[in-house]
Structure 1
Amino acid sequence: MTAPPFDPATSRRVPETRQPLRSLLGVLLLIAIIWQLPHGRTLLYPLSLLATCAHELGHGVTALLLGAHFESFVLHADGSGLALWRGTPGRLGSALIAAGGLLAPSIAGSLLLVLSRWPRLARMLLGLIGGSLVLVVAMWTRNLFGIAFLLCAALFFVLAAVWLNERGAIFVLRLIAAVLCLSWLQDVDYMFSASASIGGLRHASDTAIMAQALWLPYWFWGGVVATLSLAILALGLWFAVRAQRC
Protein backbone atom coordinates (compact mmCIF):
# COMPACT_ATOMS: atom_id res chain seq x y z
CA MET A 1 0.00 0.00 0.00
CA THR A 2 1.34 3.45 -0.99
CA ALA A 3 1.65 5.90 1.89
CA PRO A 4 -0.18 9.23 1.56
CA PRO A 5 2.01 12.31 0.82
CA PHE A 6 3.91 14.00 3.64
CA ASP A 7 2.92 17.53 4.73
CA PRO A 8 6.07 19.29 6.09
CA ALA A 9 3.99 22.05 7.67
CA THR A 10 2.32 19.67 10.09
CA SER A 11 4.83 16.78 10.04
CA ARG A 12 1.94 14.48 9.21
CA ARG A 13 0.77 12.46 6.30
CA VAL A 14 -1.96 14.15 4.26
CA PRO A 15 -5.01 11.89 3.95
CA GLU A 16 -5.74 10.96 0.34
CA THR A 17 -9.33 12.15 0.73
CA ARG A 18 -8.07 15.71 1.25
CA GLN A 19 -5.99 15.78 -1.92
CA PRO A 20 -8.90 16.18 -4.42
CA LEU A 21 -10.27 19.19 -2.53
CA ARG A 22 -6.88 20.91 -2.46
CA SER A 23 -6.35 20.23 -6.15
CA LEU A 24 -9.78 21.51 -7.16
CA LEU A 25 -9.51 24.62 -4.99
CA GLY A 26 -6.07 25.32 -6.43
CA VAL A 27 -7.34 25.26 -10.01
CA LEU A 28 -10.36 27.40 -9.13
CA LEU A 29 -8.21 29.95 -7.29
CA LEU A 30 -5.77 30.16 -10.20
CA ILE A 31 -8.56 30.83 -12.69
CA ALA A 32 -10.14 33.45 -10.41
CA ILE A 33 -6.81 35.27 -10.01
CA ILE A 34 -6.01 35.25 -13.73
CA TRP A 35 -9.43 36.70 -14.57
CA GLN A 36 -8.76 39.64 -12.25
CA LEU A 37 -5.50 40.54 -14.02
CA PRO A 38 -5.53 43.44 -16.53
CA HIS A 39 -5.18 41.03 -19.47
CA GLY A 40 -6.64 37.99 -17.76
CA ARG A 41 -9.49 37.59 -20.19
CA THR A 42 -7.00 37.62 -23.07
CA LEU A 43 -4.85 34.98 -21.38
CA LEU A 44 -7.91 32.75 -21.05
CA TYR A 45 -9.37 33.78 -24.42
CA PRO A 46 -10.24 30.30 -25.82
CA LEU A 47 -11.64 29.23 -22.47
CA SER A 48 -13.66 32.44 -22.21
CA LEU A 49 -15.20 31.68 -25.61
CA LEU A 50 -16.19 28.22 -24.38
CA ALA A 51 -17.87 29.84 -21.38
CA THR A 52 -19.80 32.15 -23.72
CA CYS A 53 -20.84 29.12 -25.74
CA ALA A 54 -22.13 27.42 -22.59
CA HIS A 55 -24.00 30.61 -21.68
CA GLU A 56 -25.80 30.86 -25.01
CA LEU A 57 -26.56 27.15 -25.14
CA GLY A 58 -28.01 27.51 -21.65
CA HIS A 59 -30.56 29.94 -23.09
CA GLY A 60 -31.32 27.62 -25.98
CA VAL A 61 -31.64 24.40 -23.97
CA THR A 62 -33.83 26.11 -21.37
CA ALA A 63 -36.06 27.39 -24.17
CA LEU A 64 -36.37 23.85 -25.54
CA LEU A 65 -37.23 22.47 -22.09
CA LEU A 66 -40.01 25.05 -21.78
CA GLY A 67 -41.52 24.14 -25.14
CA ALA A 68 -40.03 27.00 -27.17
CA HIS A 69 -37.86 26.64 -30.27
CA PHE A 70 -34.10 27.26 -30.21
CA GLU A 71 -33.45 29.01 -33.52
CA SER A 72 -29.70 29.71 -33.56
CA PHE A 73 -26.80 31.31 -31.79
CA VAL A 74 -23.75 33.30 -32.80
CA LEU A 75 -20.35 33.56 -31.13
CA HIS A 76 -18.33 36.73 -31.76
CA ALA A 77 -14.57 37.22 -31.66
CA ASP A 78 -14.92 39.79 -28.86
CA GLY A 79 -16.23 37.05 -26.55
CA SER A 80 -19.88 38.03 -26.79
CA GLY A 81 -22.68 35.85 -28.10
CA LEU A 82 -26.39 35.85 -28.81
CA ALA A 83 -28.96 33.05 -28.74
CA LEU A 84 -32.22 33.38 -30.67
CA TRP A 85 -35.31 31.46 -29.64
CA ARG A 86 -38.95 31.59 -30.64
CA GLY A 87 -42.09 30.79 -28.68
CA THR A 88 -44.52 32.02 -26.02
CA PRO A 89 -43.40 30.52 -22.70
CA GLY A 90 -45.00 33.33 -20.68
CA ARG A 91 -43.42 35.84 -18.32
CA LEU A 92 -42.00 33.26 -15.95
CA GLY A 93 -40.72 31.16 -18.86
CA SER A 94 -38.98 34.16 -20.39
CA ALA A 95 -37.30 34.89 -17.05
CA LEU A 96 -36.19 31.27 -16.72
CA ILE A 97 -34.72 31.27 -20.23
CA ALA A 98 -32.75 34.42 -19.38
CA ALA A 99 -31.55 32.87 -16.12
CA GLY A 100 -30.68 29.62 -17.91
CA GLY A 101 -27.88 31.32 -19.80
CA LEU A 102 -26.42 32.87 -16.66
CA LEU A 103 -26.51 29.65 -14.63
CA ALA A 104 -25.72 27.07 -17.33
CA PRO A 105 -21.90 27.47 -17.19
CA SER A 106 -21.88 26.98 -13.40
CA ILE A 107 -24.12 23.92 -13.66
CA ALA A 108 -22.04 22.39 -16.46
CA GLY A 109 -18.77 23.17 -14.67
CA SER A 110 -19.92 21.67 -11.38
CA LEU A 111 -21.08 18.53 -13.19
CA LEU A 112 -17.66 18.18 -14.81
CA LEU A 113 -15.99 18.62 -11.40
CA VAL A 114 -18.02 15.72 -10.07
CA LEU A 115 -17.47 13.46 -13.08
CA SER A 116 -13.73 14.19 -13.22
CA ARG A 117 -13.32 12.24 -9.98
CA TRP A 118 -13.63 8.97 -11.93
CA PRO A 119 -10.44 8.62 -14.02
CA ARG A 120 -11.94 6.05 -16.38
CA LEU A 121 -14.61 8.54 -17.44
CA ALA A 122 -12.22 11.42 -18.19
CA ARG A 123 -11.20 10.55 -21.75
CA MET A 124 -14.72 9.49 -22.67
CA LEU A 125 -16.06 12.82 -21.42
CA LEU A 126 -13.53 14.75 -23.52
CA GLY A 127 -14.64 12.83 -26.60
CA LEU A 128 -18.29 13.47 -25.71
CA ILE A 129 -17.64 17.22 -25.38
CA GLY A 130 -15.93 17.25 -28.78
CA GLY A 131 -18.80 15.40 -30.43
CA SER A 132 -21.36 17.68 -28.77
CA LEU A 133 -19.62 20.77 -30.14
CA VAL A 134 -19.82 19.34 -33.66
CA LEU A 135 -23.55 18.80 -33.12
CA VAL A 136 -23.94 22.38 -31.88
CA VAL A 137 -22.25 23.67 -35.04
CA ALA A 138 -24.48 21.56 -37.28
CA MET A 139 -27.74 22.48 -35.56
CA TRP A 140 -27.49 26.04 -34.28
CA THR A 141 -24.28 27.98 -35.00
CA ARG A 142 -24.86 30.62 -37.66
CA ASN A 143 -21.73 32.75 -37.98
CA LEU A 144 -18.34 31.95 -39.51
CA PHE A 145 -16.25 32.76 -36.45
CA GLY A 146 -18.44 30.65 -34.21
CA ILE A 147 -18.31 27.69 -36.61
CA ALA A 148 -14.52 27.91 -36.99
CA PHE A 149 -13.84 28.22 -33.27
CA LEU A 150 -16.19 25.44 -32.18
CA LEU A 151 -14.86 23.04 -34.81
CA CYS A 152 -11.29 23.75 -33.64
CA ALA A 153 -12.38 23.24 -30.03
CA ALA A 154 -14.11 19.98 -30.98
CA LEU A 155 -10.92 18.75 -32.69
CA PHE A 156 -8.89 19.63 -29.59
CA PHE A 157 -11.18 17.66 -27.28
CA VAL A 158 -11.25 14.64 -29.57
CA LEU A 159 -7.45 14.61 -29.90
CA ALA A 160 -7.10 15.06 -26.13
CA ALA A 161 -9.40 12.08 -25.60
CA VAL A 162 -7.26 9.96 -27.93
CA TRP A 163 -3.75 11.04 -26.90
CA LEU A 164 -3.88 12.03 -23.22
CA ASN A 165 -3.54 9.58 -20.38
CA GLU A 166 -6.05 9.58 -17.52
CA ARG A 167 -4.14 12.18 -15.47
CA GLY A 168 -3.90 14.55 -18.44
CA ALA A 169 -7.57 14.09 -19.28
CA ILE A 170 -8.57 14.86 -15.69
CA PHE A 171 -6.45 18.03 -15.74
CA VAL A 172 -8.17 19.27 -18.93
CA LEU A 173 -11.61 18.48 -17.51
CA ARG A 174 -10.83 20.34 -14.27
CA LEU A 175 -9.52 23.33 -16.18
CA ILE A 176 -12.66 23.53 -18.30
CA ALA A 177 -14.82 22.98 -15.22
CA ALA A 178 -13.06 25.76 -13.30
CA VAL A 179 -13.52 28.22 -16.15
CA LEU A 180 -17.21 27.38 -16.47
CA CYS A 181 -17.84 27.53 -12.73
CA LEU A 182 -16.16 30.93 -12.41
CA SER A 183 -17.20 32.45 -15.74
CA TRP A 184 -19.78 34.55 -13.92
CA LEU A 185 -16.86 36.56 -12.47
CA GLN A 186 -16.12 37.99 -15.90
CA ASP A 187 -19.84 38.75 -16.33
CA VAL A 188 -20.38 40.60 -13.03
CA ASP A 189 -20.67 43.96 -14.81
CA TYR A 190 -23.09 42.39 -17.29
CA MET A 191 -25.28 40.89 -14.57
CA PHE A 192 -25.56 44.25 -12.83
CA SER A 193 -26.23 46.25 -16.00
CA ALA A 194 -29.43 46.99 -17.87
CA SER A 195 -27.86 46.44 -21.30
CA ALA A 196 -24.71 45.18 -23.02
CA SER A 197 -22.96 45.42 -26.38
CA ILE A 198 -23.22 42.20 -28.40
CA GLY A 199 -21.67 42.19 -31.83
CA GLY A 200 -21.55 45.98 -31.80
CA LEU A 201 -25.27 46.38 -30.98
CA ARG A 202 -26.92 47.16 -27.65
CA HIS A 203 -29.17 44.48 -26.19
CA ALA A 204 -31.01 44.19 -22.88
CA SER A 205 -29.02 42.15 -20.36
CA ASP A 206 -30.37 38.84 -19.11
CA THR A 207 -31.05 40.32 -15.68
CA ALA A 208 -32.92 43.20 -17.32
CA ILE A 209 -35.09 40.66 -19.14
CA MET A 210 -35.73 38.93 -15.82
CA ALA A 211 -36.66 42.27 -14.28
CA GLN A 212 -39.11 43.04 -17.09
CA ALA A 213 -40.78 39.66 -16.57
CA LEU A 214 -40.72 39.53 -12.77
CA TRP A 215 -40.90 43.27 -11.86
CA LEU A 216 -38.03 43.40 -9.35
CA PRO A 217 -34.96 45.49 -10.40
CA TYR A 218 -32.21 43.94 -12.57
CA TRP A 219 -29.57 44.42 -9.86
CA PHE A 220 -31.66 42.26 -7.53
CA TRP A 221 -31.66 39.42 -10.05
CA GLY A 222 -27.95 39.93 -10.58
CA GLY A 223 -27.42 39.29 -6.88
CA VAL A 224 -29.67 36.22 -7.01
CA VAL A 225 -27.74 34.77 -9.95
CA ALA A 226 -24.35 35.44 -8.32
CA THR A 227 -25.50 33.76 -5.09
CA LEU A 228 -26.88 30.75 -6.95
CA SER A 229 -23.66 30.45 -8.97
CA LEU A 230 -21.60 30.29 -5.77
CA ALA A 231 -24.02 27.75 -4.27
CA ILE A 232 -23.81 25.54 -7.38
CA LEU A 233 -20.00 25.68 -7.25
CA ALA A 234 -19.96 24.77 -3.55
CA LEU A 235 -22.38 21.89 -4.17
CA GLY A 236 -20.27 20.63 -7.07
CA LEU A 237 -17.12 20.69 -4.95
CA TRP A 238 -18.87 18.87 -2.12
CA PHE A 239 -20.13 16.12 -4.41
CA ALA A 240 -16.75 15.84 -6.17
CA VAL A 241 -14.86 15.28 -2.93
CA ARG A 242 -17.59 13.02 -1.50
CA ALA A 243 -17.49 10.88 -4.66
CA GLN A 244 -13.73 10.41 -4.22
CA ARG A 245 -14.17 9.32 -0.60
CA CYS A 246 -16.80 6.80 -1.61
Structure 2
Amino acid sequence: MGRVWDDVVGTQPPPTSPVVWVTGLVALVLVAVPVTWSIGRHVVTIAHEGSHGVAALLSGRRLAGIRLHSDTSGLTVSRGRPTGPGMVATAAAGYVGPGLLGLGAAYLLRERHALAVLWLAVLLLGLLLLQIRNFYGLYAVLVAGLGVFAVSWWADEQLQSWVAYAGTWFLLLAAPRPVLELQAQRRRGRARTSDADTLARLTRVPGLVWVGVFLLVTVGCLVLGAGWLLARAR
Protein backbone atom coordinates (compact mmCIF):
# COMPACT_ATOMS: atom_id res chain seq x y z
CA MET A 1 0.00 0.00 0.00
CA GLY A 2 2.92 2.31 0.66
CA ARG A 3 4.15 1.85 -2.87
CA VAL A 4 0.69 2.50 -4.31
CA TRP A 5 0.32 5.68 -2.26
CA ASP A 6 3.74 6.89 -3.41
CA ASP A 7 2.66 6.26 -7.00
CA VAL A 8 -0.58 8.18 -6.54
CA VAL A 9 0.88 11.29 -4.88
CA GLY A 10 4.14 11.26 -6.82
CA THR A 11 4.75 12.87 -10.20
CA GLN A 12 6.11 11.39 -13.38
CA PRO A 13 7.84 13.18 -16.26
CA PRO A 14 5.49 13.99 -19.13
CA PRO A 15 6.00 12.11 -22.40
CA THR A 16 7.41 13.71 -25.49
CA SER A 17 5.10 15.45 -27.94
CA PRO A 18 5.25 12.59 -30.51
CA VAL A 19 4.11 10.12 -27.83
CA VAL A 20 1.12 12.30 -26.94
CA TRP A 21 0.13 12.58 -30.60
CA VAL A 22 0.65 8.87 -31.29
CA THR A 23 -1.43 7.77 -28.29
CA GLY A 24 -4.13 10.16 -29.43
CA LEU A 25 -4.01 8.75 -32.94
CA VAL A 26 -4.25 5.18 -31.62
CA ALA A 27 -7.29 6.16 -29.54
CA LEU A 28 -8.86 7.83 -32.57
CA VAL A 29 -8.43 4.65 -34.61
CA LEU A 30 -10.04 2.62 -31.82
CA VAL A 31 -13.04 4.95 -31.90
CA ALA A 32 -13.33 5.41 -35.67
CA VAL A 33 -12.79 1.85 -36.98
CA PRO A 34 -15.94 -0.31 -36.61
CA VAL A 35 -14.07 -3.48 -35.62
CA THR A 36 -12.09 -1.85 -32.83
CA TRP A 37 -15.05 0.30 -31.77
CA SER A 38 -17.15 -2.83 -31.21
CA ILE A 39 -14.60 -3.80 -28.54
CA GLY A 40 -13.79 -0.36 -27.17
CA ARG A 41 -17.51 0.41 -26.84
CA HIS A 42 -17.57 -1.94 -23.82
CA VAL A 43 -15.20 0.43 -22.00
CA VAL A 44 -17.55 3.33 -22.68
CA THR A 45 -20.48 1.28 -21.39
CA ILE A 46 -18.59 0.54 -18.17
CA ALA A 47 -17.97 4.27 -17.70
CA HIS A 48 -21.57 5.10 -18.68
CA GLU A 49 -23.21 2.73 -16.23
CA GLY A 50 -20.70 3.50 -13.51
CA SER A 51 -21.56 7.19 -13.87
CA HIS A 52 -25.25 6.39 -13.43
CA GLY A 53 -24.35 4.52 -10.25
CA VAL A 54 -22.20 7.32 -8.81
CA ALA A 55 -24.87 9.92 -9.57
CA ALA A 56 -27.52 7.76 -7.91
CA LEU A 57 -25.47 7.42 -4.72
CA LEU A 58 -24.52 11.11 -4.60
CA SER A 59 -28.15 12.16 -5.06
CA GLY A 60 -29.32 9.98 -2.16
CA ARG A 61 -30.79 7.10 -4.12
CA ARG A 62 -30.07 3.47 -3.28
CA LEU A 63 -28.08 1.60 -5.89
CA ALA A 64 -29.64 -1.82 -6.52
CA GLY A 65 -27.15 -3.15 -9.09
CA ILE A 66 -25.56 -2.74 -12.51
CA ARG A 67 -25.71 -5.11 -15.47
CA LEU A 68 -23.45 -5.06 -18.53
CA HIS A 69 -24.32 -7.03 -21.66
CA SER A 70 -22.27 -8.46 -24.50
CA ASP A 71 -24.04 -6.22 -27.05
CA THR A 72 -22.48 -3.18 -25.23
CA SER A 73 -25.78 -2.20 -23.63
CA GLY A 74 -26.15 -1.89 -19.88
CA LEU A 75 -28.63 -1.21 -17.10
CA THR A 76 -28.27 0.55 -13.76
CA VAL A 77 -31.07 0.06 -11.25
CA SER A 78 -31.51 2.46 -8.34
CA ARG A 79 -34.30 2.90 -5.85
CA GLY A 80 -35.85 6.07 -4.54
CA ARG A 81 -38.34 8.65 -5.74
CA PRO A 82 -39.27 8.03 -9.40
CA THR A 83 -39.13 11.78 -10.05
CA GLY A 84 -37.23 14.76 -8.73
CA PRO A 85 -33.65 16.08 -8.90
CA GLY A 86 -32.06 12.79 -7.82
CA MET A 87 -33.65 10.85 -10.65
CA VAL A 88 -32.81 13.60 -13.15
CA ALA A 89 -29.16 13.64 -12.08
CA THR A 90 -28.97 9.85 -12.28
CA ALA A 91 -30.45 9.73 -15.77
CA ALA A 92 -28.30 12.61 -17.03
CA ALA A 93 -24.99 11.23 -15.78
CA GLY A 94 -24.60 8.28 -18.16
CA TYR A 95 -23.78 9.90 -21.49
CA VAL A 96 -21.66 12.70 -20.02
CA GLY A 97 -19.83 10.39 -17.61
CA PRO A 98 -17.11 9.05 -19.96
CA GLY A 99 -16.22 12.56 -21.12
CA LEU A 100 -16.04 13.90 -17.56
CA LEU A 101 -13.89 10.94 -16.50
CA GLY A 102 -11.59 11.64 -19.44
CA LEU A 103 -11.43 15.30 -18.48
CA GLY A 104 -10.51 14.41 -14.90
CA ALA A 105 -7.79 12.08 -16.15
CA ALA A 106 -6.48 14.79 -18.49
CA TYR A 107 -6.23 17.18 -15.55
CA LEU A 108 -4.19 14.65 -13.57
CA LEU A 109 -1.92 14.11 -16.56
CA ARG A 110 -1.49 17.86 -16.91
CA GLU A 111 -0.29 17.83 -13.30
CA ARG A 112 2.07 14.90 -14.14
CA HIS A 113 0.16 12.24 -12.17
CA ALA A 114 0.06 9.46 -14.77
CA LEU A 115 0.18 6.70 -12.15
CA ALA A 116 -2.64 8.32 -10.20
CA VAL A 117 -4.79 7.96 -13.33
CA LEU A 118 -4.08 4.23 -13.49
CA TRP A 119 -4.56 3.51 -9.78
CA LEU A 120 -7.77 5.52 -9.63
CA ALA A 121 -9.03 3.48 -12.59
CA VAL A 122 -8.24 0.29 -10.64
CA LEU A 123 -10.07 1.66 -7.59
CA LEU A 124 -13.16 2.70 -9.55
CA LEU A 125 -13.33 -0.62 -11.40
CA GLY A 126 -12.98 -2.47 -8.10
CA LEU A 127 -15.86 -0.52 -6.56
CA LEU A 128 -17.95 -1.05 -9.68
CA LEU A 129 -17.30 -4.79 -9.49
CA LEU A 130 -19.14 -4.89 -6.16
CA GLN A 131 -22.31 -3.61 -7.84
CA ILE A 132 -22.34 -5.86 -10.91
CA ARG A 133 -25.26 -8.30 -10.99
CA ASN A 134 -24.63 -10.49 -14.05
CA PHE A 135 -21.88 -12.83 -15.23
CA TYR A 136 -20.87 -10.93 -18.36
CA GLY A 137 -20.61 -7.71 -16.38
CA LEU A 138 -18.35 -9.42 -13.83
CA TYR A 139 -16.19 -10.73 -16.67
CA ALA A 140 -15.91 -7.37 -18.46
CA VAL A 141 -15.09 -5.32 -15.36
CA LEU A 142 -12.70 -7.95 -14.00
CA VAL A 143 -10.75 -8.14 -17.27
CA ALA A 144 -10.52 -4.35 -17.47
CA GLY A 145 -9.48 -4.05 -13.84
CA LEU A 146 -6.83 -6.76 -14.03
CA GLY A 147 -5.43 -5.23 -17.21
CA VAL A 148 -5.02 -1.80 -15.65
CA PHE A 149 -3.67 -3.31 -12.44
CA ALA A 150 -1.04 -5.29 -14.34
CA VAL A 151 0.20 -2.16 -16.08
CA SER A 152 0.16 -0.17 -12.83
CA TRP A 153 2.10 -2.80 -10.88
CA TRP A 154 4.51 -4.44 -13.32
CA ALA A 155 5.06 -2.14 -16.31
CA ASP A 156 7.90 0.36 -16.45
CA GLU A 157 7.21 4.06 -15.99
CA GLN A 158 7.32 4.84 -19.70
CA LEU A 159 4.72 2.22 -20.62
CA GLN A 160 2.53 3.30 -17.71
CA SER A 161 2.57 6.87 -19.01
CA TRP A 162 1.69 5.73 -22.53
CA VAL A 163 -1.24 3.65 -21.29
CA ALA A 164 -2.53 6.50 -19.12
CA TYR A 165 -2.43 8.88 -22.08
CA ALA A 166 -3.99 6.38 -24.50
CA GLY A 167 -6.81 5.59 -22.05
CA THR A 168 -7.49 9.28 -21.43
CA TRP A 169 -7.52 10.07 -25.14
CA PHE A 170 -9.89 7.16 -25.69
CA LEU A 171 -12.43 8.38 -23.13
CA LEU A 172 -12.31 11.92 -24.49
CA LEU A 173 -12.61 10.89 -28.14
CA ALA A 174 -15.13 8.11 -27.55
CA ALA A 175 -17.58 10.06 -25.39
CA PRO A 176 -19.36 11.97 -28.20
CA ARG A 177 -19.89 8.91 -30.43
CA PRO A 178 -22.56 7.15 -28.31
CA VAL A 179 -24.47 10.46 -28.19
CA LEU A 180 -24.54 10.58 -32.00
CA GLU A 181 -25.54 6.90 -32.08
CA LEU A 182 -28.32 7.65 -29.60
CA GLN A 183 -29.81 10.35 -31.81
CA ALA A 184 -29.59 8.09 -34.86
CA GLN A 185 -31.57 5.44 -32.96
CA ARG A 186 -34.09 8.01 -31.74
CA ARG A 187 -34.61 9.19 -35.31
CA ARG A 188 -35.56 5.62 -36.27
CA GLY A 189 -37.87 5.29 -33.26
CA ARG A 190 -35.70 2.63 -31.59
CA ALA A 191 -34.77 4.43 -28.36
CA ARG A 192 -38.03 5.30 -26.64
CA THR A 193 -36.62 4.34 -23.22
CA SER A 194 -33.26 6.08 -23.69
CA ASP A 195 -31.78 8.41 -21.08
CA ALA A 196 -32.74 11.43 -23.20
CA ASP A 197 -36.36 10.29 -23.44
CA THR A 198 -36.45 9.46 -19.73
CA LEU A 199 -35.21 12.97 -18.99
CA ALA A 200 -37.82 14.39 -21.36
CA ARG A 201 -40.56 12.67 -19.35
CA LEU A 202 -39.04 13.82 -16.05
CA THR A 203 -38.42 17.45 -17.01
CA ARG A 204 -40.77 18.13 -19.97
CA VAL A 205 -37.69 19.31 -21.86
CA PRO A 206 -37.60 17.65 -25.31
CA GLY A 207 -35.32 14.66 -25.69
CA LEU A 208 -33.52 16.33 -28.59
CA VAL A 209 -32.49 19.14 -26.24
CA TRP A 210 -31.01 16.60 -23.82
CA VAL A 211 -29.11 14.98 -26.67
CA GLY A 212 -27.74 18.43 -27.48
CA VAL A 213 -26.68 18.87 -23.85
CA PHE A 214 -24.93 15.49 -23.88
CA LEU A 215 -23.11 16.40 -27.09
CA LEU A 216 -22.14 19.86 -25.83
CA VAL A 217 -20.67 18.43 -22.62
CA THR A 218 -18.78 15.58 -24.27
CA VAL A 219 -17.35 17.75 -27.06
CA GLY A 220 -16.44 20.42 -24.50
CA CYS A 221 -14.59 17.82 -22.43
CA LEU A 222 -12.76 16.66 -25.56
CA VAL A 223 -11.64 20.17 -26.51
CA LEU A 224 -10.54 21.14 -23.00
CA GLY A 225 -8.96 17.79 -22.20
CA ALA A 226 -7.07 17.65 -25.50
CA GLY A 227 -5.69 21.11 -24.80
CA TRP A 228 -4.41 19.97 -21.41
CA LEU A 229 -2.79 16.84 -22.84
CA LEU A 230 -1.05 18.65 -25.65
CA ALA A 231 0.06 21.54 -23.45
CA ARG A 232 1.92 19.21 -21.08
CA ALA A 233 3.87 17.36 -23.79
CA ARG A 234 7.60 18.08 -23.97
TM (norm. structure 1) is 0.76
TM superposition shift of 1:24: 4.4
CA contact (8 A) 2:61 2:86 kept: no
Match of 2:105 among 112, 127, 138: 112
- Which one has a bigger Cα radius of gyration? 1
Match of 2:50 among 47, 54, 57: 57
Indicate how the Cα distance of structure 1 residues 202 and 235 shifts in structure 2: closer, same or farther if over 3 A, else same.
Answer: closer
2:6: which partner in 1?
none
Q: Which has the higher strand share?
A: 1
Instruction: Within 5 Å, give how 1:1-246 maps onto structure 2.
Output: 20=17, 24=20, 27-42=23-38, 45=39, 47-88=40-81, 90-119=83-112, 121-138=113-130, 140-187=131-178, 188-191=180-183, 193-194=185-186, 204-241=193-230
Q: CA–CA distance in 2 between the matches of 1:215 and 1:234?
A: 30
TM superposition shift of 1:243: 5.8
Q: CA–CA distance in 2 between the matches of 1:66 and 1:89?
A: 13
CA contact (8 A) 1:123 1:162 kept: no
CA contact (8 A) 1:211 1:221 kept: yes
Indicate how the Cα distance of structure 1 residues 23 and 65 shifts in structure 2: closer, same or farther if over 3 A, else same.
Answer: same
Residues 147-190 of structure 1 show CA distances to partners (whole Å, capped at 9, x for unaligned) of: 12211221111110122222211111122112222223431121
Indicate how the Cα distance of structure 1 residues 240 and 190 shifts in structure 2: closer, same or farther if over 3 A, else same.
Answer: same
5+ unaligned residues in a row in structure 2: which ranges? 1-13
TM superposition shift of 1:241: 4.8
SS at match of 2:175: helix
TM (norm. structure 2) is 0.80
TM superposition shift of 1:34: 4.1
CA contact (8 A) 1:117 1:243 kept: yes
Q: CA–CA distance in 1 between the matches of 2:148 and 2:137?
A: 16
Q: CA–CA distance in 2 between the matches of 1:192 and 1:209?
A: 17
TM superposition shift of 1:82: 0.8
Q: CA–CA distance in 1 between the matches of 2:111 and 2:88?
A: 35
Q: CA–CA distance in 2 between the matches of 1:161 and 1:26?
A: 21
CA contact (8 A) 2:185 2:191 kept: no
TM superposition shift of 1:212: 1.0
Query: Which residue identity lines up with residue 148 of structure 1 in the other structure?
Result: Y
SS at match of 1:204: coil
Indicate how the Cα distance of structure 1 residues 156 and 74 shifts in structure 2: closer, same or farther if over 3 A, else same.
Answer: same
What's the % identity of the aligned pairs?
A: 26
CA contact (8 A) 1:69 1:85 kept: yes
SS at match of 2:84: helix
CA contact (8 A) 1:130 1:156 kept: no
5+ unaligned residues in a row in structure 1: which ranges? 1-16
Q: CA–CA distance in 1 between the matches of 2:199 and 2:222?
A: 22
Indicate how the Cα distance of structure 1 residues 191 and 217 shifts in structure 2: closer, same or farther if over 3 A, else same.
Answer: same
Residues 64-104 of structure 1 show CA distances to partners (whole Å, capped at 9, x for unaligned) of: 11111111101111111111111127434322211111111
TM superposition shift of 1:203: 6.5
Task: Give the count of matched residue pairs.
Answer: 220
